[in-house]
Structure 1
Amino acid sequence: MRLLQKNKPVIRFLLTFFGSYLILAFLYNLYLNNASSQKYYPEFITHIVALQSQDLIEAFGYETKSIPSDYDPSMRIAVNGDYVVRIVEGCNAISVMVLFLAFILAFKKDWKSTLLYIFAGLVIIYALNILRIALLTIAIYEYPEYTDLLHTTLFPAFIYGVVFILWFIWIRNFRPKTSPKDV
Structure 2
Amino acid sequence: MNEIELKQAKKQADKKALKFIISLFILYIFFSQGNLFMNSVLSPGSRFYNEFIAEHFNYIQGLKTALITCAVWIIKLFGFYVIYNKSDVMVVAGPYLRVNYSCLGLGVMSFLTAFVLAFPASWKATFKMMAIGLITIFVLNVCRIAGLGVLLGFFESQRNNFTYHHEIFNVIVYICIFVMLYLWIKKNTGSNASENEIKKQPLVP
TM-score (norm 2): 0.69
Whether the 8 Å CA contact 1:76–1:87 is kept in 2: the answer is yes
Residues 92-103 of structure 1: pairs in structure 2 closer than 5 A: 92-103=104-115
Q: Deviations over 1:23-72 (max 9, x none)?
A: 2123323321222358x8x833223322322122112332112235xxxx
User: For structure 2, which runs of at least 5 residues remain unmatched after alignment?
Assistant: 1-7, 44-53, 198-205
The answer to which of 154-163 and 121-130 deviates more is 154-163
Higher helix share: 2
DSSP-derived class of the 2:84 partner: strand
Cα 1:157–1:62 change in 2 (3 A) is farther
Aligned position for 2:71: 53
Identity %: 22
The list of structure 1 runs, each at least 4 consecutive aligned residues, that deviate by more than 4 angstroms after superposition, is: 2-6
Q: Which stretches in structure 1 are left out of the alignment for 5+ residues? A: 69-74
Q: TM-score, normalised by structure 1?
A: 0.77
- Alignment deviations for residues 60-91 of structure 1 (CA, whole Å, 9 cap, x no partner): 332112235xxxxxx22211244432111111
Mark the CA change 1:8 to 1:169 in structure 2 (over 3 Å): closer, same or farther: same
In 2, are the aligned partners of 1:76 and 1:83 still within 8 Å (CA)? no
**Root-mean-square deviation over aligned CA pairs:** 2.9
Aligned mates of 2:95, 2:170 — CA distance in 1: 21
Deviations 1:114-165 (A, max 9, x none): 111111211121122111221123223323242235x155333222222222
1:172 aligns with 2:186: yes
Letter in 1 for 2:75: I
Counterpart AA for 2:106: I
Tell me, yes or no, if the aligned pair for 2:71 and 2:145 is still in contact at 8 Å: yes
1:147 aligns with 2:162: yes
Partner of 1:9: 16
- Aligned to 1:65, the other structure's residue is in SS state strand
Larger-gyration structure (1/2): 2
Aligned length: 171
CA distance in 1, matches of 2:145, 2:36: 23
